[in-house]
Chain A
Amino acid sequence: MHATFSYPKYSFIPSEEQRTGSVRRHPVVVIGAGPVGLTAALDFARKGVPVVVLDAEDTVSVGSRAVCYAKRALEVWDRLGVGRRMIDKGVVWKIGKVFNGDRMVYQFDLLPEPDHKIPAFINLQQYYLEDFLVTQARESDLIDLRWLSRVISAKQEADHVVLQVETPDGVHAVEADWVIACDGAKSSVRKMLGLEFQGEVFKDRFLIADVVMKADFPAERWFWFDPPFHRKQSALLHMQPDNVWRLDFQLGWDADPEEEKKPERVIPRVQAMLGADTPFELEWVSVYTFQCRRLERFRHGRILFAGDSAHQVSPFGARGANSGVPDADNLVWKLALVLEGKAPESLLDSYSDERVAAAKENILNSTRSTDFITPKSEMSRVFRDAVLELAVDQPFARSLVNSGRLSTPTTYTDSPLNTPDGDAFAGRMVPGAPATDAPVERNGQPGWLMEALDGRFTVLYAAASDDMGGPVPAEVAEALDDLAAGPLPLAWHAVTDRRRGIAGELVDCAGRLRERYDLTPGSVYLIRPDQHIAARWRRFDAAALSAALDRATGR
């Protein structure tokens, strides 16, 4: 196999507590240094919370594995200062094409509107992604990364958790106020707690062949039903950095996974797809089946589950890592407030409620894609084929073609943290929705709204234009300054139509903020630390804002 990436080896360094035989109580221990665990660690560090990360291995993900990273996850990573590196290295894309046989039946654009900092999607091998996250984590004094440290038991006490950790130097105890289990789909923490992981296992097998080749296919997701080179099954082609291409072939349930992984089986399939005279080398081969399952609840006392340990989906739609990262995003600010005594422990139940709702949405989408790609009955296949046949000429049928509904962030519609609208607003920025981006000018520099939503609560105040009197009334500015000086981490910004010299103002230079948030002079938005909308009003009301903050922090 060809290697385009050399795997880093992280050394095991015995912790002080192991060396001295003492037991330390840490505020937070994260189990698993994958994309979700590292994201959580970086976010804790941002918030000034020291965190220990335990990982059983000593390197990054072996094989490219997850490849597609969606806008929302990238926005989280951008907030944590590591997104740019991923986007620069990754292949940016937003167009998907679906073929039936050799005809294209459907094309989609995942970000049809302009003026967003972060692209719809990038493709990036998981080893690069983890490498960047580890590099970023190592720069923080607050993150204690411990490799070759396998958790072998977890015991909940009244006010802490005791972990037994096995390392090359033996087993020792680590105590934590809170534990976040990001130890993947086969989570050993989940098994230690005896928790049920319920759902559906699908009877189909797929082959991933990542190949290195020089090719001039565009940076688009191409998906085939019944292609001429792989009859009666589906196939997928997707670009990754370093001239690596993700090829995916549906094999059917009867395929022998060990046989199918052998180069003599894989190479003819690849040649049939690419043409016999296209030179390529195999980089990584894997045969997988998939499940759609989740825990009933993601909080179990002082142990919180995030990412694949809490929910697992089929790969169609890139909803695995892309839903795990928002788990971390949702959890960390809440736990940080609880640790600081600024919010009750019950706020953590809203983590479970909101992210269980997201997992349900992802599982629903993923299951539907799977039912379309792998019909489970003869009649299901008849309807699927009829949709594909009609889609060539009938526009309505194209919307039914389901080759994977790609990951979009969940709106926490029913969250108790939302303050329901009292005033009428148009558009998508309803309470619970993830904030959408817009270009703004900050401190005289071009920037983005998302950069202003920096992990604190944020209040946006739409200042009046010239014909509406003063841009920000003194009593509004005073009330907002008071809130910003209060115990909750909070910033506020005036949204202006042109430079007005107000401290912290966001100049809505392209008018997109007004358009996307339906702002009128005096409109107020309260946005959570995880960039979801908490509340909004047409007029500033200090008491209403304060009540909404209480609500959003579970008080």
Chain B
Amino acid sequence: MAKLMTEQRFASPDDVYQMLIDSHRDLTPDQSTRLNAKLILLLANHIGDAEVLAEALRVARQGVE
């Protein structure tokens, strides 16, 4: 059974981070929200494993409330 991978996996973490931030450049908060939603859906489908997604959602929600 697949497991959420939380160890560092990027060859170049700073490049990835900058890519995320750059993708929102010049967008209004509403537009950014839309982009994020589409991105989540694309990545969720790419992962394709509901258990991994459930684990990611659980970790993401920690400390939010």
Majority DSSP secondary structure for residues of B touching A: helix
List the B side residues contacting A396 at CB < 8 Å: 45
Q: Does A389 contact B (CB under 8 A)?
A: yes
Chain A nearest Cβ from B58, distance in angstroms: 17
A-facing mask of B10-52, CB < 8 A → 1, else 0?
0000000000000000000000011001101110010000000
Q: Does A390 contact B (CB under 8 A)?
A: yes
Q: Indicate whether A394 reaches chain B with its CB closer than 8 angstroms.
A: yes
CB pair B37–A386 under 8 Å, yes or no, is yes
Which residues on the A side are within 8 Å of B33 (C-beta)?
382
Q: Chain B residues near A383: list those with CB within 8 A.
A: 37, 40-41
A36 to B42 CA separation, bound complex (whole angstroms): 44
Pairwise interchain contact A385-B41, C-beta atoms closer than 8 A: no
Contact B45 A386 (CB under 8 A): no
User: Interface size class for chain A?
Assistant: 10 to 19
Q: Shortest distance in angstroms between B25's beta carbon and chain A's nearest beta carbon?
A: 19
The tally of CB-CB contacts under 8 A between chains A and B is 24
Give Cα distance in the complex from A382 to B33, angstroms. Answer: 7
Q: Report if A400 contacts B (CB, 8 A).
A: yes
Q: Whose C-beta in chain A lies nearest to the C-beta of B33?
A: A382
B44 CB to nearest chain A CB (Å)? 9
Give every chain B residue within 8 A of A382 (Cβ-Cβ).
33-34, 37
| Bound CA–CA A394/B41 (angstroms) | 11
Q: Whole-angstrom distance between the alpha carbons of A394 and B46 in the complex?
A: 12
Whether A387 is near chain B, meaning CB under 8 Å from some CB there, is yes
Q: Tell me if A142 counts as interface (CB < 8 A to partner B).
A: no
Whether A385 lies near B34 (C-beta < 8 A) is yes
Closest Cβ neighbor of A397 among chain B residues: B41
Q: Which residues of chain A have C-beta atoms less than 8 A from B34's C-beta?
A: 382, 385-386, 389
* Residues in A neighbouring B40, C-beta threshold 8 A: 383, 386
**Cα–Cα distance between A383 and B41 once the two chains are bound (Å):** 8
Complex contacts, B41 vs chain A, CB 8 Å: 383, 386-387, 390, 397, 400
Chain B residues lying within 8 Å of A390, measured Cβ to Cβ, are 38, 41-42
A385 to B36 CA separation, bound complex (whole angstroms): 12
**In the complex, A382→B38 CA distance in Å?**
9
The complex places the Cα of A361 from the Cα of B37 at a distance, in Å, of 28
Contact B38 A389 (CB under 8 A): yes
Residues of A close to B37: CB separation below 8 A: 382-383, 385-386
Query: Which residues on the B side are within 8 Å of A387 (C-beta)?
Result: 41
Q: Within the assembled complex, what's the spacing in Å between the Cα atoms of A397 and B37?
A: 12
Chain A residue with minimal CB distance to B38?
A: A386
- Nearest-neighbor residue (CB-CB) of A386 within chain B: B37
Against B, the Cβ 8 Å flags (1 = close, 0 = not) of A375-391 are 00000001101110110
> Looking at B37, B40, B42, which has the most chain A CB atoms within 10 Å of its CB?
B37
Closest chain-B Cβ to A386's Cβ sits at a distance in Å of 4
In the assembly, what is the distance between CA of A521 and CA of B5, in Å?
A: 50
Q: Which has the most chain B C-beta neighbours within 10 Å: A382, A387, A389?
A: A382
Q: Which residue of A lies closest to B45 (CB)?
A: A396
Within 8 A of B (CB), among A364-423: 382-383, 385-387, 389-390, 394, 396-397, 400
Smallest Cβ distance from A465 to chain B, in angstroms?
A: 42
Residue on B nearest A394 in the bound complex, by CB? B42
- Shortest CB distance B23–A (Å): 15
Cα A386 to Cα B45 with chains together (Å): 13
Shortest beta-carbon distance from B56 to chain A in Å: 15
Which residues of chain B come closer than 8 Å to A397, judged between CB atoms?
A: 41, 45
Q: Give A55-98 interface residues, CB cut-off 8 Å to B.
A: none
Q: Which of A383, A385, A400 has the most CB of B within 10 A?
A: A383
Which of A383, A386, A387, A397 is the most central at the interface, judged by chain B CB atoms within 10 Å of its CB?
Answer: A386
**Smallest CB separation, B32 vs chain A (Å):** 11
CA distance A397 to B55 in the complex (A): 22
The docked-state distance in angstroms from the alpha carbon of A394 to that of B38 is: 11
B59 to chain A, nearest CB (A): 18
Residues on the B chain within 8 Å of A389, using CB: 34, 38
Q: In the complex the two chains form, what is the Cα distance from A88 to B45 in whole Å?
A: 43
Distance A385 CA – B33 CA, assembled complex (angstroms): 11
Tell me the complex Cα distance, A387–B38, Å: 7
B33 nearest CB across to chain A (Å): 5
A383-B42 Cα distance, complex, nearest whole Å: 12
- List the B residue with the shortest CB-CB distance to A378: B33
A169 to B63, CA, bound (A): 70
B65 to chain A, nearest CB (A): 14
A269 to chain B, nearest CB (A): 28
CB distance from A469 to the nearest CB of B (A): 47
Tell me the smallest distance from the CB of B13 to a CB of chain A, in Å: 27
B39 to chain A, nearest CB (A): 9
A133 to B33, CA, bound (A): 53
A330 CB to nearest chain B CB (Å): 31
Please measure, in the bound complex, the distance between the C-alpha atom of A400 and the C-alpha atom of B41, giving whole angstroms: 10
Smallest Cβ-Cβ distance to B48: which chain A residue: A396
- Nearest first, the 10 A-B pairs at minimum CB distance are A386-B37, A396-B45, A386-B38, A382-B37, A383-B37, A382-B33, A390-B38, A386-B41, A390-B41, A386-B34
Additional 4 contacts, C-beta under 8 A, given A383-B41, A386-B37, A397-B45: A386-B38, A386-B41, A387-B41, A390-B42
Residues of A in contact with B (beta carbons under 8 Å apart): 382-383, 385-387, 389-390, 394, 396-397, 400
What are 19 inter-chain pairs, A to B, with CB distance below 8 A? A382-B34, A382-B37, A383-B40, A383-B41, A385-B34, A385-B37, A386-B37, A386-B38, A386-B41, A387-B41, A389-B34, A389-B38, A390-B38, A390-B42, A394-B42, A396-B45, A397-B41, A397-B45, A400-B41
Q: Which B residues are within 8 Å of any A CB, using their own CB?
A: 33-34, 37-38, 40-42, 45
